[in-house]
Amino acid sequence: MEQAYLNLATALSAVGGSFDDVAKVTVYVVDWTGSKMAALMDGAGRVAARLGSFPVRPMTLVGVAALAEPDLLVEVEAIAVLA
């Protein structure tokens, strides 16, 4: 989760944005169970500490059987609005 959010921060920065511009986040988690929530929030908290902005806006969490890349366990999709 942490690396996915850091990658998103890099993408946002490349277009002049930041997490402050994010309107909605969708997180896809392989084999989701409620016990994974603490780890997800810990990762988001570490990103917040590092970047100075908490990377969770309105968020949808979707449990999936697999992602397109078999080695990935988490995918983060964001909609950002840049002026």
Query: Domain map of the chain by residue range?
Result: 2-80
pTM across the whole model: 0.83
Per-residue pLDDT tens listing for the chain (83 residues) = 788 888 999 999 999 998 889 999 999 999 999 898 888 888 888 888 888 877 666 889 999 999 999 999 999 999 999 98
Beta-carbon count within 10 A of 18 CB = 15
CB within 8 Å of 26: residues ≥ 6 apart = 59, 60, 61, 62, 76, 77, 78
CATH domain 2-80 topology:
60s Ribosomal Protein L30; Chain: A; (3.30.1330)
Q: Extract the tokens encoding 13.
A: 């920065």
